[in-house]
Structure 1
Amino acid sequence: MRRIILTTESGADLPAELADKHNVHVVPMHVIMDGQDYLDGSLPVTDIYDYYDRTKKIPSTTSTNSHEYFEFFTKIKKDFPDCIIIHIGYTSKASSSFQNAIIATEDLHDIFLIDALNVTGGLMAIVMYAVTLLENEPSIDPAHLVEKIESKVPKSRLAFVPGSLEFLRAGGRVSNLAYLGGALLKIKPRIELMDGNLVSTKKYRGKMDVVSEKLMRDYLDQYDIDRGQLYLLYSIGLDKEIKQRMDEMAKEAGFKNVKWIQAGAMISTHAGPGGIGIAGLEV
């Protein structure tokens, strides 16, 4: 029986302990600050916030390039001869990373590429679904496994509220006028992945403790999420009491397992500190 290995990008925000436990290989994306290129995960997220405080600019984030993908996949093939790789990638609608993976694998064999059309917790939910399938049925046919994973791509639902409009403004995602109006009225946008694109689908008004509860209620009203697992995301700076309340709401809604995930550099660079998100798979 040939070994199947799952891979993904650092933009999935898959915690290292989960990646190690389930043997998921993660290729880093990039963060650029002060002209220096850092591999995602090689520096604390707080360095991004410090950089913004110092410069009033956000770092640049870039995709994994095709050469890095080639090196990544060939090393796995060297370490695990005759293995089959299933790569679950960051949405192609928001990054060139997936296209670079396609280029890198043109002359490689036994590598399946899946565009998850999602990021951070939404991508991680699909990866962990694949982990569960593979661990429950190690001898599963690779093509069948890919088919089952792909069937879950449109069912992965991610919604998050940035902690700060300042970072969205610094990144050019909101205008100065919109920023001033939003700050004055305490308006916070709800961001979702729609067909792989990051889209503002709703606006909330109020402090984050109020907004987070509205986000949870709206999310659960809108989507029939599998009660087996819910992922809650936060960027550094989110109040502990908000996290406790979100835990309570998730348990009240019948979720058996709730996992908190810290947003990594790809999301934190644009969402800023104190953001919150929810991800899960529809039944």
Structure 2
Amino acid sequence: MGNLKIFADSTCDLPSDWIGKYDIGIIPLYVTFDQQTYKDGVDLDTPMLYQKVSETKKLPKTAAPSPADFIQAFTPAINEGKDILYISLSSELSSTYQNALIAATEFPEGQVRVFDSLNLSTGIGLQVMKAYRAAEAGKSIEEIMDLLHRTRPQVETEFVIDSLDYLYKGGRCSGMQNLVGSLLKIRPVIKVIDGKMTPAYKVRGSREKALHQMLDNALARIDDMDNDLIFVTHSLADEDADQLKSILQEKTGAREVAISKAGCVISSHCGAKTIGILYTKRTS
């Protein structure tokens, strides 16, 4: 790794043991219920989030780290003589990226690089791991940035939302849509396109049908898939995640299919039982 320290924020949803193993710096976003504010993954975990939603009957507000938060997080590494690469949550979804850019100006020019993932959850995590492995292989920061620019548009992020409840509570669908969707068992599928959460299609019927559709979509891209790393990311859907991992491992022959759990910020927008398959297509 040389003198490079890689940072991400709590929305990258990397497995906690990976964060320690690969020495990834994590900067938490904030989750606020009424007057009480928590740091995502530090003061509040996902089961606690759902308990509080159940108690309060409303969703929390989420907020980006401030420039001061970034400065505080970056300073120890800078004082150790390291350069920093921070890979952020999509600038289309949060001010996290902009606040990191502000913080970077407080350090000598070029010492802090900020890269907009234009993604969320392990769509960020995939890019973090690409950067880490390139740095471990001795690539320069310029080579790593070039790799990230080539990798970013190749990231495929697709999630099945189990219920419209959280989209309704978050103002992303109407009460009538929520009612009709619940009656007809409609499960929306969300993709990340150009850095934004975009409804891709809807599956009417059982949860299993929706999961099979998402799995089929991924397997249809096997020839284009970079099978170095595939993520199955979920919010309290352990059994489904295990099943998807097993099938993906068998069908793709990927070097690694990893399961990760969605943190509080991602879960607060999608709800329990949300599950996704995330991978990158091959770059030229």
User: For 1:186 and 1:24, how far apart are their aligned partners in 2?
Assistant: 40
Confirm or deny that 1:249 pairs with 2:252: no
1:25 pairs with 2:25: yes
Q: Partner residue of 1:62?
A: 63
2:159 aligned with 1:169 = no
| Cα deviation digits, residues 50-74 of structure 1 (max 9, x gap) | 1221222111111111111111111
Judged with a 3 Å threshold, the aligned counterparts in structure 2 of structure 1 residues 53 and 231 are, in CA distance, closer, same or farther, namely same
- Deviation at residue 171 of structure 1 after TM alignment: 0.6
How many angstroms apart in 1 are the aligned matches of 2:230 and 2:15?
15
Question: Displacement of 1:239 after TM fit?
Answer: 5.7
Question: How big is the shift at 1:222?
Answer: 5.1
Residues 160, 276 of structure 2: 8 Å contact kept: yes
Aligned counterpart, 2:16: 16
Equivalent runs, 1:123-202 vs 2, <5 Å: 123-137=124-138, 140-202=139-201
> Counterpart amino acid of 1:271?
C
CA contact (8 A) 1:121 1:278 kept: no
Indicate how the Cα distance of structure 1 residues 205 and 222 shifts in structure 2: closer, same or farther if over 3 A, else same: farther
> Distance in 1 between the 2:135 and 2:159 partners?
29
Q: Which residue of 1 aligns with 2:103?
A: 104
Partner-residue secondary structure (3-state), 2:226: coil
Q: Quote the Cα distance in structure 2 between the aligned partners of 1:221 and 1:2.
A: 39
**Structure 1 residues 222 and 176, CA, compared in 2 at 3 Å: closer, same or farther?**
farther
1-structure distance, mates of 2:242, 2:36: 38
- Name the structure 2 match of 1:45: 46
- Asked if 1 retains the 8 angstrom alpha-carbon contact of 2:31 and 2:38, the reply is yes
Show CA shifts across 1:107-145 (max 9, x none).
3121111100001010001101111111122xx221122
SS at match of 2:228: coil
Letter in 2 for 1:124: G
State the SS of the aligned residue for 1:229: strand
The TM-score, its normalising length taken from structure 2, stands at: 0.93
* Residues 213 and 246 in structure 1, CA contact (< 8 A), matched pair in contact too: no
Cα offset, 1:164, TM superposition: 2.1
Which 10-residue stretch deviates more, 262-271 or 244-253? 244-253
Larger deviation, residues 205-214 vs 216-225 = 216-225
SS of residue in 1 equivalent to 2:172: coil
Question: Normalization by structure 1: what TM-score?
Answer: 0.93
Given residue 269 of structure 2, which amino acid in structure 1 is its aligned partner?
H
- 1:154-187 C-alpha deviation (Å, 9 max, x unpaired): 1111110122211111010111111111111111
Tell me the amino acid that sits aligned with residue 30 of structure 1: Y
Percent identical residues: 29
C-alpha deviation, 1:2, in angstroms: 5.5
CA pair 239-98 structure 1, distance change in 2 beyond 3 A: closer
Task: Report the Cα distance in structure 1 between the residues aligned to 2:5 and 2:242, rounded to whole angstroms.
Answer: 35
Q: CA RMSD in A?
A: 1.6
Specify whether residues 210 and 87 from structure 1 end up closer, same or farther in structure 2 by C-alpha distance, changes over 3 A only: same
CA distance in 1, matches of 2:117, 2:187: 26
Which ranges of 4 or more aligned residues in structure 1 deviate by more than 4 Å? none
The answer to whether the Cα contact below 8 Å between 1:31 and 1:38 also exists between their aligned partners in 2 is yes
